[in-house]
């Protein structure tokens, strides 16, 4: 027995769930396939994860009427301080310089997931199929639908037929592989350790990023006195740091970050995840697209991965809404629409991916000649407001106005 849908989304994480939420009131039937049960408790890795969202992403969430339920957990980033360990020179950015209350916000991933899933539960046209694992796909003879085989927790198989398949299943995307889409993968041989710390001095809404030869360490303001810590290290050392006792871990983290906030105290569980840059060869094929990490996974150094994923999801939703407003019988798997979406997204995806990769390779190495250049570069940026301002606006997502999403959501 099979079930027919207009859209099937494989991956019910932040990108996939946001995309589905953006299609409320369109009349489209949607299947959301997720490997983890929606009511399963968050594991230690999930509890330790936070996301820095750009000011532009907040605007998009406001357009979807989601921000009000997230705002209680959103710690504003009022200032940004970027420096290099052991070198003179830094870049400082203040929200007030751009007439903004915040450059961005830091939220717990658990909070965002809870808000998105609560909204999905209010959408009768969305069937959440979880826990279920995507296994394979075929295309029907007429070329009108993709047929997905998914396996439930008890091993039973279910067949879903859809006019549009959206792969939102992460950097190791099974959908990408099943579609035969290649990807260029650069393994950084690093892991990001995530946890929470309580600083001796108040963070004052400042997000700190300090580059070290082993990788960047970031302390981001949270809603209370604590900070979210994201510490990038070579894989073997990261695994060891996750296993050592609290005192040794904090001694090493303190040495990497320095004393700008005084002594640091561990305030949460430790988690970690591997880091690689993934760029797919194509984001759209016949009746299928890839969004978020399934199409492009980034190093967290510039905190742009989630914001890039949301722009993928919401532009696709906006384009669908526009076409449906003109023709209620419009086929969501229309080839011209999907190729147009992929073409529109490509410059942003490649620009952000390459910028992030350049930062990682420039700052995370021990080449002596580059050491002085890095410090001079940071100092130079502090003296060149036009370049610094352009970088700041892009990091805030303000270079990409959400007007099209506003129009399509109205």
pLDDT in tens, 172-195: 999 999 999 999 999 999 999 999
**What is the average pLDDT score of the chain?**
87
- φ/ψ (deg, to 5) at 22: -70, -10
344 within 8 A of 315, measured Cβ to Cβ: yes
Tokens of 131: 């826990």
Over residues 27-31, mean pLDDT: 97
Domains of the chain plus CATH, in order, are 2-73+107-185+276-365+402-409 (3.50.50.60)
- Of residues 324, 293, 307, the one with CA closest to residue 7: 324
- Of 136 and 380, more confident: 136
Q: What is the pLDDT of residues 322-374, one digit of tens each?
A: 999 999 999 999 999 999 999 999 999 998 888 888 877 776 655 454 454 44
Tokens of 356: 């992030």
Over residues 225-247, mean pLDDT: 95
Per-residue buried b or exposed e for 345-358, using 16+ beta carbons within 10 Å of the residue's own CB: beebbeebbebbbe
Q: Rounded to a whole number, what is the largest CA-CA distance in the chain?
A: 66
Over residues 234-242, mean pLDDT: 96
- φ/ψ (deg, to 5) at 351: -65, -50
C-alpha dihedral, 17 to 51 to 232 to 350, nearest 10°: 60
Per-residue buried b or exposed e for 31-51, using 16+ beta carbons within 10 Å of the residue's own CB: bbbbbeebeeeeeeebbbbbb
Rounded CA-CA distance 279/389 in Å is 27
- Of residues 73, 292, 86, the one with CA closest to residue 170: 292
pLDDT (0 to 100) of residue 100: 84
67 within 8 A of 116, measured Cβ to Cβ: no
pLDDT (0 to 100) of residue 155: 79
pLDDT (0 to 100) of residue 223: 77
Q: DSSP 3-state assignment of 238?
A: helix
User: Pairing state of beta strands 90-94 and 288-290?
Assistant: unpaired
C-alpha dihedral, 174 to 178 to 179 to 181, nearest 10°: 70
171 within 8 A of 278, measured Cβ to Cβ: yes
pLDDT (0 to 100) of residue 88: 59
- Of 85 and 383, more confident: 85
pLDDT (0 to 100) of residue 392: 52
Q: DSSP 3-state assignment of 318?
A: helix
- φ/ψ (deg, to 5) at 169: -105, 30
Other CB atoms within 10 Å distance of the CB of residue 29: 17
Rounded CA-CA distance 410/405 in Å is 9
Rounded CA-CA distance 385/381 in Å is 7
């Amino acid at each position: 027995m099979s079930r027919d849908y207009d859209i099937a989304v494989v991956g019910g994480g932040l990108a996939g769930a946001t995309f589905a939420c953006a299609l409320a009131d369109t009349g489209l039937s949607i299947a959301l396939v997720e490997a983890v049960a929606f009511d399963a408790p968050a594991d230690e890795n999930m509890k330790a994860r936070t996301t820095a969202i750009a000011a532009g992403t907040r605007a998009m969430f406001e357009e979807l009427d989601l921000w009000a339920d997230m705002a209680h957990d959103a710690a504003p980033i009022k200032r940004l301080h970027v420096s290099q360990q052991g070198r003179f020179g830094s870049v400082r950015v203040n929200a007030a310089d751009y007439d903004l209350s915040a450059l961005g916000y830091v939220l717990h991933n658990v909070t965002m997931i809870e808000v998105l899933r609560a909204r999905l539960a209010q959408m009768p046209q969305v069937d959440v199929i979880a826990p279920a694992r995507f296994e394979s796909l075929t295309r029907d003879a007429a070329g009108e639908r993709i047929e997905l085989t998914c396996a439930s927790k008890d091993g039973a198989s279910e067949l879903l037929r859809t006019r549009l398949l959206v792969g939102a299943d992460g950097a190791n995307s099974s959908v990408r592989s099943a579609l035969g889409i290649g990807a260029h993968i650069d393994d950084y041989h690093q892991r990001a350790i995530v946890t929470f710390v309580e600083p001796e001095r108040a963070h004052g809404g400042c997000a700190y990023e300090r580059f070290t030869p082993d990788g960047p360490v970031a302390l981001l303001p949270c809603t209370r006195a604590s900070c979210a810590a994201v510490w990038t290290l070579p894989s073997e050392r990261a695994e060891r740091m996750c296993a050592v006792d609290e005192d040794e871990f904090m001694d090493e983290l303190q040495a990497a970050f320095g004393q700008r906030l005084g002594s640091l105290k561990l305030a949460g569980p430790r988690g970690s995840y591997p880091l690689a840059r993934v760029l797919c060869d194509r984001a759209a094929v016949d009746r299928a697209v890839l969004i978020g990490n399934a199409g492009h996974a980034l190093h967290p150094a510039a905190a742009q991965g989630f914001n890039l994923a949301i722009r993928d999801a919401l532009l696709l939703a906006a384009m669908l809404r526009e076409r449906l407003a003109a023709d209620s019988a419009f086929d969501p798997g229309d080839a011209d629409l999907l190729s147009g979406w992929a073409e529109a997204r490509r410059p942003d995806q490649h620009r952000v991916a390459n910028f992030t990769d350049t930062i990682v390779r420039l700052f995370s190495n021990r080449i002596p000649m580059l050491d002085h250049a890095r410090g001079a570069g940071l100092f130079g940026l502090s003296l060149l407001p036009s370049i610094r301002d352009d970088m700041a606006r892009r990091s805030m997502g303000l270079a990409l106005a959400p007007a099209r999403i506003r129009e399509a959501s109205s």
